Amino acid sequence: MPCQLLTKHCFGRMFSQIGLRRVGFQDFRANGLLLPANEEAAVQKSMPLHRGPHRDYNEMVIERVGCVEETWSRQRLSDPAKAMVDSLYRLSLLQSALRKRLLADRRGIVLNREDPLGTGFDFTELDAMAELLWAAT
Mean of per-residue pLDDT scores for the chain: 80
- The residue type found at 78 is S
Confidence band, pLDDT 50/70/90 cuts, at residue 119: very low
pLDDT value at position 115? 56
pLDDT value at position 116? 55
Domain hosting residue 39, numbered range: 3-135
Residue 16 has pLDDT above 80, yes or no: yes
Residue 1 has pLDDT above 50, yes or no: yes
Total-model pTM: 0.69
Number of domains in the chain: 1
Q: What is the 3-state secondary structure (H, E, C) of 29-94?
A: HHHCCCCCCCHHHHHHHCCCCCCCCCHHHHHHHHHHHHHHHHHHHHHHHHCHHHHHHHHHHHHHHH
Residue-wise pLDDT tens digits, 35-92: 777 778 777 777 777 666 678 888 999 999 999 999 999 999 999 999 999 999 999 9
